[in-house]
Amino acid sequence: MDEFSLLLLEKDLYHDVQVSWIYPEVSTEDQERLIKASASRETLIGSIHEFYVIKHDDIIYSCYRLPVDQIKHELAVQEATLVCISAKSHPKRDESILKELLQSYLSSKGNATAMLQLTLKMIATGKCGDVDLKSIVE
């Protein structure tokens, strides 16, 4: 698997966006760029999700955004965006990874350890949940 970093952004009830988790590291410039990009997007309503890609210089930012059911997930945020930062673009693979990781985070009521465990397992096995990442054709 190519080198990558992950960044979790959360938009709170007042529409402020903040970084809440990083693996393994993300530059301050990238964090600021992604916070601005997330803050400028319209708030998602209902169960709609959004996958989008931002390109800057030679870096690809694949973003998966979901609205958060605050009561169900016991989180005081209105939406969460998980970003995969990489030098190569693999939209289908990235969307699958980000969806699985973000779902694990939300289903664990905001426990980033669940996302970290799934990330490490993905690196070790080439699978993310039930998704075999090697079988996804770009």
Residue with tokens 């959360």: 10
In sequence order, the 6+-apart residues with CB closer than 8 A to the CB of 10 are: 17, 18, 20, 68, 75, 77, 79, 80, 81
CATH, range 5-135 = 3.30.450
Domain residues of the chain, as ranges? 5-135
What pLDDT, in 10s, does the model give residues 42-82? 766 666 788 989 999 999 999 999 988 877 778 888 899 99
Phi/psi of residue 58, each to 5°? -105, 25
Under the banding of pLDDT at 50, 70 and 90, the label for residue 133 is: low
